[in-house]
Structure 1
Amino acid sequence: MTSPFNIEEIYPDDGEHSLRMPRRQAGSSPQGVAVTLLADYTLRARAALPSAAIVALLAESGVTTAGARAAISRLARRGVLEGSRQGRHSSYRLTQAAAVNLSVGGHWILTSTTAAEPWDGCWTTVAFSLPQDRGTQRRALRGQLRWLGYAPLYDGLWISPYELTPRAQARLVQLTLGAVTVFRGRQIALAADSQRALIDAWDIDAISGHYEEFLQRWAPLVPQVRSGEVDGAAAVRARTEIMDTYRRFPILDPQLPRDLLPTGWLRQPAREVFAAVYDGLADPAQRHVRAVVGRFTDSVDPGISAHTTADLLAGVHGDAGWIPPARREPPSHRRTAV
């Protein structure tokens, strides 16, 4: 299984923009929390927040002042944030490249956790051979394959029940410089004890365990959210944490066909709990973020607005505004982009 804390795998750079999204760490990453906060409340309008307000909001999530300021500085160097100054006061907002990247990623999170598409019973096999001295290239290829939903059946042999799209093919050629071969076909049945089951390439028990942990953590909060008991800083923290957790699932769960999964698969219950918490806390969290920002500025930008799951599905932010889904190429192994 790939690390669930690598934000670059969840929001991969499309190669058209010069930015490097922060790598997640085991535990709370100040940069990751900052990106989530800014995306959750400023993405649509790319509203700028006073740096002092960002520091204050991060403090409510347990990030020290020094850690918050370092995170802002590093995100600016990465091309994720861009700053401006008025006198002694500085503000930051998401760069255009980061806004597009995060918006596509947000859309992918939701579309990738819907019901899997029908399966024709065929498998795509990617075989590659790279010399030992090309370790960086090998790691990049494996990361790309896993992001596309593939898993290693054997070393150098990766499989997926879905077709490899033309753009994905072109990307793999770039990564391997011809040292890759792709096949698609049906598995030939042998004696049950003489072949490895293809589904064993994925750790189904581990994926199921992640869903179970998610539901155990968040399902009890749903009644409190619906009754209005969660407010203020607690609402912001809950939305940030549940997004940070739920956005792992497009990588952890490769959307295998239902025919291959055990009964009672928890993908849909997890999605429902995520929407109940994330959407249910949008209004109180938005009020709190605006209140915190209001402590550091005379005028709160109206673009500070909590988006919901419906907003994430509606379109992505681009130079011309919201791009409708028909014009988008979501980064999914079941669609067209790499």
Structure 2
Amino acid sequence: MTSPFAIEEIFPDDTDQAVRLPRRQAGNSPQGLAVTLLADYTVRTRARLPSAALVALLTESGASPTGARTAISRLVRRGVLDGSREGRRSFHRLSREAAANLSAGGRWILTATATTQPWDGYWTLVAFSLPQDRGTQRRSLRGQLRWLGYAPLYDGLWISPHDLTPPVHALLTRITPGAVTVFRAHQADLDTVAGRDPLDAWDVAAIGRHYGSFLDRWRPLLPRVASGQVTGAEAVRTRTEVMDTFRRFPVLDPRLPAEILPAGWLRQPAREVFAAVYDGLARPAEQHVRAVVRRFADGVPDDVRAHTTAELLAGIGEADATETGSCPP
């Protein structure tokens, strides 16, 4: 099985959407860094940042100045950023559609990693058949089903332990009529070794190792975060990295029921460590972003604001999401 961390996109490649968020690549791409930075500090206000400030922040996070400027231009072409000018200065901010997607996506990340409710034992099965000449649609469908928490039990048969949600229903209604069937059913035990456990659609051991690696990486940092030793550019880099890593877990482990998971599952400990790092660095990271923006703008940028996991879960930017009607599940 390919590592789920290699999934090309955390946001679905949905050609019906006007906004094309950047592909998730190995490591931190300049486009991905730019989107994360803007989401973490401007998604609720859609604050305009001087382009020079955004380049400076991206450079601090490891991008080259040329790579940063190229990333900004490409995000404008994708519809993720809006650009404007005042005299010789250029500014960029999240487009309304991108802000809505990112706001809903942040809420989904935390909702999907919360403690699961008791499971009723039913699986949702999505069976589909698309001809070879519809390869692009088939790949897009698979990517979006993965993003929505489904996994392939067999070729053309994807499953989830949760009921059919409105986003999945909307996705499946766009498929060619007669090409998809949906079931809700219990598993029937077979008195033979030929039967495959539905949980085998996910590599549970690999998911557990990813949780363990996450905790090994971030838990030792907690004393420094709690004591205020992580400040400035380091706070921004750290907060960006912990979000970039943690937001992949809802795709890896889409609220798989505790009843069928190994004892001591690390979903909740990982969520607690993520919140401690992300929330603990909100204040110093915001202060540094404001300081960088202030170097390239007149006045104090009051609309640069970090948010906490509680605010993400409550739903920041809901006005934008309501206006556009376009958001991730």
Q: TM over 0.5: same fold?
A: yes
Shift of 1:300: 2.8
Alignment correspondent of 2:55: 55
2:97 and 2:320 in contact (8 A); partners too: no
Alignment correspondent of 1:101: 101
Task: State the distance in 1 between where 2:3 and 2:77 align.
Answer: 26
Of the structure 1 ranges 5-14 and 144-153, higher mean CA displacement relative to structure 2 is found in: 5-14
| Within-5 A mapping of 1:75-114 | 75-114=75-114
Shift of 1:2: 6.9
Alpha-carbon distance change, 113 to 14 in structure 1, aligned in 2, over 3 angstroms: farther
Alignment correspondent of 1:26: 26
- Kindly indicate whether residue 153 of structure 2 is the aligned counterpart of residue 153 of structure 1: yes
Alignment correspondent of 2:46: 46
Post-superposition CA distance 1:48-73 (Å, at most 9, x none) = 11111011101111100000000000
Gaps of at least 5 residues in structure 2 are none
RMSD (Å) for aligned C-alpha atoms: 2.1
Alignment correspondent of 1:4: 5
Scaled by the length of structure 2, what TM-score is found?
A: 0.93
Task: State the distance in 2 between where 1:197 and 1:6 align.
Answer: 23
2:50 and 2:293 in contact (8 A); partners too: yes
Shift of 1:144: 2.1
Shift of 1:125: 1.5
Post-superposition CA distance 1:138-167 (Å, at most 9, x none) = 111211221221111111111222121355
Task: State the distance in 1 between where 2:132 and 2:14 align.
Answer: 26
Alignment correspondent of 1:336: none
Alignment correspondent of 1:213: 213
1:100 and 1:316 in contact (8 A); partners too: no
2:20 and 2:80 in contact (8 A); partners too: yes
Alignment correspondent of 2:202: 202
Task: State the distance in 2 between where 1:98 and 1:306 align.
Answer: 17
Shift of 1:220: 0.4
Alpha-carbon distance change, 58 to 28 in structure 1, aligned in 2, over 3 angstroms: same
| Within-5 A mapping of 1:175-190 | 175-190=175-190
2:113 and 2:271 in contact (8 A); partners too: yes
Post-superposition CA distance 1:310-332 (Å, at most 9, x none) = 111122415x4687xxxx99855
Post-superposition CA distance 1:222-241 (Å, at most 9, x none) = 11000111111100000000
Task: State the distance in 2 between where 1:88 and 1:270 align.
Answer: 46
Task: State the distance in 1 between where 2:285 and 2:170 align.
Answer: 42
Shift of 1:14: 9.7
Task: State the distance in 2 between where 1:20 and 1:82 align.
Answer: 13
Scaled by the length of structure 1, what TM-score is found?
A: 0.91
Shift of 1:24: 1.3
Post-superposition CA distance 1:183-234 (Å, at most 9, x none) = 1211111125231112111100111111111111100001100011111110
SS in structure 1 of the partner of residue 174 of structure 2: helix
Of the structure 1 ranges 160-169 and 266-275, higher mean CA displacement relative to structure 2 is found in: 160-169
1:18 and 1:79 in contact (8 A); partners too: yes
SS in structure 2 of the partner of residue 171 of structure 1: helix
Task: State the distance in 1 between where 2:220 and 2:196 align.
Answer: 39
SS in structure 1 of the partner of residue 125 of structure 2: strand
Post-superposition CA distance 1:228-279 (Å, at most 9, x none) = 1111110000000001101111111121111110000000000100010000
Fraction of identical pairs, as percent: 64
Task: State the distance in 1 between where 2:283 and 2:14 align.
Answer: 31
Gaps of at least 5 residues in structure 1 are 333-338
Shift of 1:35: 0.4
Of the structure 1 ranges 122-131 and 218-227, higher mean CA displacement relative to structure 2 is found in: 122-131
Shift of 1:6: 5.2
